[in-house]
Structure formats: C-alpha cells, structure tokens
Amino acid sequence: MSWTAADIPDLSGRTAVVTGANGGLGVETASVLAARGAHVVMAVRNQEKAADAIARIRRETPEASLELVDLDLGSLASIRAAADTIIAANEKVDILVNNAGVMATPERETADGFEMQLGVNHLGHWALTAHLMPTLLAAPGARVVSVTSTAHHMGTPLDPRNPHLGGTYNPWKAYGQSKLANYHFALGLQREFERAGVTAQSLMAHPGLSHTDLQVVTEREGGVGASGPLWRWLAARTGMTPADGAMPQLRAATDPAARGGELYGPRYANFGPPVRLPLLRPGADGAIAILWQVSERETGIPMRIEP
C-alpha cells in the first residue's frame, strides 16, 4: 500500500520549522504537520502570502498551533534574526524542513553577494541549520530534511575558486549546482551527526514535477528564455498537485521507519507515491568536504555539532 498522510504518527508535543511555508510544497507540508498535532513554525519571506496560508490552515485545522517568523534566506542577518526568534520561543526543534527555494532565475546576488540560487537554496539553509543546531540537538531524534530535485543530476560540485559562477552563469547550471549542494549537504550532515554520536538524523527528499508557483515565477522572471513557458505547461499538464508533491518530504520528516542518509521521492521519477529511492549519486568525500569548506568560508558560520 502507498504511504499517505494518514500514516503520519501523532506529532503532539513536537515542533517543526518549515521554510517557505507560505505557498506550494511548504504550505502543504505545514498544513499536514499541524493537522497531525505539531507546533509549526512557518519561516517565510512574503508575509502577505503567509497570512493567507495561515488562514487556509486554520480553516482546515482550527486548533492548529502555528507560529510565523520572518525569514529571508537571501540575507544572513535575516536568518540570524529568525533563528534567534525561533530559539527564544522554542526549547527544541524536532523537525526542520529546508523547503524554500528559487529555480532558474536570472543572474543576481543575495544581500551578502552570493549567487542567488546557491545563496537561497543552499547557503541560506546552511546558516539556518547551523544557528538552530542547539535546539535540534535538544530534541530526541530530530530530523533535518533537505529538499533537493532531480535537477541535482545535472549539477556539478562547487568549484571553491568560483562557487558563484562568475563569468560562467547559466540559470539551469546554477540551479543544478544548488540542488546538488542540497544533496551533498544532507549526506554530509548525516555523516557529521554519526561522527558526533547524536540521535539527530539528516534526510532528503525531492518532489518530482509538481505544479506550484515555482514554474510560474521562473517564467515571469525570464531567466530561462523560451524554456520557461514549456516547463510551466508541463507542470500544469503533467505535474502532481502540491499536496502530492509534498508527500516525499513529509515522509522523510515523519515516517518512523525512515533513517538518516535516505532519499525519498515519487516512485516513478517525477510522479507517484512517496518511496525511498536509491542513492544514484552519493557524492565523493571530496565534493562533500569542499561543500563544507566553501559553506563555512562564504557564510562565516561553522556547522558545530556538540552533543
């Protein structure tokens, strides 16, 4: 039988942080976690959309326990402030879903001078995870879920001399690089958890082709030229609903049988029920080591895991 939201155990007493919880996969993830009893911290940039998302969740689950935190993953200062707010209000974080992201944007920089896709999709989540680490380690068996993409297969490991692709930028090249960084981050973080002897686990998920605002924004911003309308059309005609697309990350976050280092995604590559997938590109130790080196160097934030 296929795994569904009905298989999620009672999450009462647990705290979950979901980035980008104001739309798409994020709001679906937040909604299901809240319905199963978790206190959900919705860490989002667009506060207007967040208000609509909260109203929708409360219509579905009137008793939902929700907390809204302002988070701009393109700003290290915003990430620090958001983490401080979360830590001040919560003694522990049981689930962190690093869901937010951008796709195939025109070349631009974050507030800290990072290439936007690497900055938001990976470096921003690196910084948030590092800041929240004490509260994650305070929870028994906490889970960090990194949301990657099948596009990680077209990505290349970071070049420490030019991680922001200066002079070589291409929207899909940058997206693939950022999604491979998510993949390597999840694997590397699990290794660090095991090395430290803690109970926290790092898993990853990908949503396949889901019909969300991601494709609409990509087309509107014009970063990929003529292929933008094609991807929007494919998502609209063949993509899964956001609710179905969120199932892999929900399974990674909540399935008691899931284990650190595992990848969850649709059974049939881009669609289907959420299943554990083989690690077809586990990544060399060198690529993960470089990711750690570059991430710490660029953000100035080490990933400290102290039991």
The number of angstroms, rounded, from the C-alpha of 60 to the middle of its chain's C-alpha atoms is 24
Residue 100 to residues 74, 173, 193, 202: CA-CA distances in angstroms?
11, 19, 23, 17
By the 8 A CB rule, do 200 and 137 touch? yes
d(CA 116, CA 178) in angstroms, rounded, equals 10
The tokens describing 155, both together, are 């990505």
CA 91 – CA 242 distance, rounded (Å):
31
Q: Is 175 a catalytic residue?
A: yes
DSSP per position, 168-219: T--HHHHHHHHHHHHHHHHHHHHHHHHHHT-S-EEEEE---SB-SHHHHHHH
Distance (Å, whole) CA 155 – CA 227: 18
Closest to 131 in 3D by CA, of 182, 101, 93, 158: 93
Q: Which of 169, 175, 183, 264 is catalytic?
A: 175
Identity at 177, one-letter amino acid code: Q
Nearest by Cα to 200 from 307, 50, 86: 307
Whole-number Å distance between alpha carbons of 47 and 142 = 27
Catalytic residues: 175
